Structure 1
């Protein structure tokens, strides 16, 4: 009964097809968020320096408080320019979001192996569908939490790397020193990661029903519904 029996037919059914979509969309999440790299740029004028470009490069997992701006010149504006860092540590939200995507990616592979190679075992077992249902419900909830947490963190990252950062740079407040915000890398790909997070949440939430239909909970509810009769043997 437990032998391997390859059957790709389940991939054409909602249970298997949605698992493939969940697998693909999890890849998009950690590719768009985990692979991001960007920088924010200022133009600094100070003692002996006019409109010198200084940059701060940041990337996943967005520990911005460890990212320092480059100095305007070797003399650091006559000693008035001190090490200047970005503000904020958003690594917990970003890593939660990406780690969930990686775990989902691995689980989808394991689930597809069971669906394709051990469909007969899955359908004859009562524990496997229930376990699959529990994981599906928990994962849908985690996508909800992680996506909205990451969306809030992304909004804060944009604030911490945008034009408002000049207000928190002490070196820019030194007399005869001016700082002008120049640019920041586009974060459209991070916006896309939030969209994929929402799509994953919807996929896993919708998949709860299809997994539930394969459990004995659904079978019992159907057999005990009004208008049906059961007979004990």
Structure 2
């Protein structure tokens, strides 16, 4: 209790309130419901065979079956209506492979969910260190997602075969005495398969939970950041360098006024036409061509 109280006080269990941990808890519970409703199932149905000679009849034939649904090994004794002799008959079908596969995936999902929750609570820093733990978690979760899809689909088909093989109306067709019109055969009680229907529903619920958990684990792997970091929109690409190895910014260059370059505006020329004070006046070529440049010329 002291360890649990210390973990609660330090905030270790806050991960359970986050989607990453909360979905793992749901996976843990739904995995239990899935394999328990299938693996713990046991059903029974009853039918009656009334012969023309009432003393040879059996009005309460009870047939039991259950997991792993090897129905070809389930037998019952039915009257032959030819004396007191009975005939041993077997049901049809073997659905153990799909049922055992479904239960196996449920058990391993339960164990992995419990182990992952322990890591989240006690070793969360190690889990996030270098993203290695999250990446392994993502791969395993993806595998379980695919396995839930396969196992749930296979068990849904297997359950359909189980229902058909244990339908009393179909089982009656297996009894030779019921083929004669003087004998009367009917069902008394059908098997209750609501628990098996629930197991299929829990199987597909697990598929949704494990598939949805992939996104939250993917955000912990760091792959999303690496993908977004390598992308650069075309509008943000740097300009090509000029002949001096510097980034180019158009043909005008750094020292030229873009407005005057594009509009043909005033561009003073210093030095090409006797500008400055050495030629006798300031910018002679621009401001004073043809005018006197000194007082001696006026005199």
TM-score (norm 1): 0.87
Q: How does 1:175-190 map to 2 (within 5 A)?
A: 177-190=183-196
How far apart are residue 226 of structure 1 and its match? 4.0
Distance 1:58 1:151 in 2: 18
Q: How does 1:165-184 map to 2 (within 5 A)?
A: 165-173=171-179, 177-184=183-190
Do the aligned residues in 2 keep the contact of 1:137 with 1:208 (CA within 8 Å)?
yes
Do the aligned residues in 1 keep the contact of 2:56 with 2:84 (CA within 8 Å)?
no
Distance 1:96 1:187 in 2: 19
| CA RMSD between the two structures | 2.2
Equivalent residue number for residue 88 of structure 1:
93
2:170 maps to which of 159, 164, 170: 164
Equivalent residue number for residue 199 of structure 2:
193
The answer as to 2:228 corresponding to 1:212 is no
Q: How does 1:53-202 map to 2 (within 5 A)?
A: 53-71=60-78, 78=83, 80-162=85-167, 163-173=169-179, 177-202=183-208
Three-state SS of the structure 1 residue aligned to 2:220 is coil
Three-state SS of the structure 2 residue aligned to 1:82 is strand
Between the two proteins, the alignment pairs up a number of residues equal to 222
Distance 1:81 1:176 in 2: 17
Structure number with higher relative contact order (C-alpha < 8 Å, ≥ 6 residues apart): 1
Three-state SS of the structure 2 residue aligned to 1:179 is strand
Equivalent residue number for residue 15 of structure 2:
10
How far apart are residue 116 of structure 1 and its match? 0.3
Which blocks of at least 5 consecutive residues in structure 1 are unaligned? Answer: none
User: Which structure's CA Rg is the greater one?
Assistant: 2
Do the aligned residues in 2 keep the contact of 1:80 with 1:174 (CA within 8 Å)?
no
Which blocks of at least 5 consecutive residues in structure 2 are unaligned? Answer: 1-5, 237-299
Do the aligned residues in 2 keep the contact of 1:133 with 1:208 (CA within 8 Å)?
yes
Distance 1:76 1:15 in 2: 65
Query: CA offsets per residue over residues 67-123 of structure 1, 9 Å max, x none?
Result: 111455xx9863553111111111111111111000000001110110000000001
Do the aligned residues in 2 keep the contact of 1:38 with 1:184 (CA within 8 Å)?
no
Three-state SS of the structure 1 residue aligned to 2:60 is strand
How far apart are residue 218 of structure 1 and its match? 1.9
Do the aligned residues in 2 keep the contact of 1:42 with 1:54 (CA within 8 Å)?
yes
Do the aligned residues in 1 keep the contact of 2:144 with 2:210 (CA within 8 Å)?
yes
Distance 2:62 2:182 in 1: 20
